[in-house]
Amino acid sequence: MRSQRLPSILLLVGLAILLSACSSDRAGPGTPSGQSSGTTQAARPPEPALAAPPAAPQQNPAERALAAARSKTREEQKEFIANLILDGIFSQIELNEGVPRVYLRPAFRLLTPEDKHLYLAVVYAFAYPDGGRSESQVVLFDSVSGEPAGAFTPAGLQLH
C-alpha cells in the first residue's frame, strides 16, 4: 500500500536529518564532522540561524496530524483521500450533508495510531476548510457492519 509507505519514508528521512545534525554538533562549532576542534576556546552560543526553534505548546496527536493535513492544498487532500479509498483504508466518505461520515475498512484497524490520526485529519481538513468549530467532528462507521465506530475531532480520535 503506497499510502502506508509514505509516513514511514518521511520518518526515516527525518531520522537521518536528526542523526546528521547530532553528529555535526559533537564536533563543535566551526569544525567539520569527525574532527575534534583541539582548541580550548570557550564554547560559543549557536548562531541564531542554527538555533533550535522555540518549543511549541504541547500538541496532541490529532492537533499534530491536523497541522500536517492543513499544509496540503485542497487538491492534494482530495487526491490523498481518493488513494485511501483505493488502498482499502476507507470504503466511502460522505461529505454532502451535515456531519462528515467515514466508513472504515478492516485495514484501518491495522494502521499505526499516527497514521490513523493523519488519515482522518486529512478528511477533517477537507470537510472543514475553515478549520471547523469546537463541536466539529468526523463520524466513523464500520464499513462491514454499518455500526458507529467512533469519531475524530481536533481533541483526538475515539474508537469504539
CB atoms inside a 10 Å sphere around CB 144: 11
- Which one, of 61, 42, 85, lies nearest residue 152 by Cα? 61
What is the rounded average pLDDT of the residues 148-159?
Answer: 96
Q: Are strands 148-153 and 101-104 parallel, antiparallel or unpaired?
A: unpaired
Q: How many domains does the chain fold into?
A: 1
Q: Is position 10 within any domain? A: no
Candidate from 1-5, 9-13, 143-147, 153-157 with smallest mean pLDDT:
9-13
pLDDT given at position 46:
52
Q: 61-70 and 113-127 helices cross at what angle (nearest 10)?
A: 50
75 is a domain residue: yes
Residue 37 lies in a domain: no
Give mean pLDDT, residues 91-117. 95
Flag whether 30 is in a domain.
no
pLDDT tens digits along 32-51: 444 444 445 555 555 544 44
**CA 150: distance to chain centroid?**
20
The answer to the question of residue 11 being in a domain is no
What would the mean pLDDT of 97-111 be, rounded to a whole number?
Answer: 95
**Mean pLDDT, the chain, integer:** 78
Residue 116 domain-assigned (yes or no): yes
Residue 121 included in any domain: yes
pTM value is: 0.64
pLDDT band at 112 (very low <50, low <70, confident <90, very high): very high
List the domain range (segments joined by +) for residue 96: 61-159
Give the pLDDT score at 98. Answer: 84
List of residues 6+ apart from 152 with CB closer than 8 A: 62, 102, 117, 120, 121, 123, 124, 137, 138, 140, 158
Scan for cell 522555540, then name that residue. 54
Average pLDDT score over residue span 123-148:
94
Q: Poorest-confidence range of 11-20, 70-79, 117-126?
A: 11-20
Taking the C-alpha atoms of residue 74 and residue 125, their distance in angstroms, rounded to an integer, is: 9
| 5-11 own/partner pairs: CB under 8 Å, 24+ apart | 7/112, 7/114, 7/115, 7/118
| DSSP per-residue codes, 37-65 | ----PPPPPPPGGGSPPPPPPP--HHHHH
Task: Give the pLDDT of residue 65.
Answer: 94
- Considering the domain boundaries, does residue 42 fall inside one? no
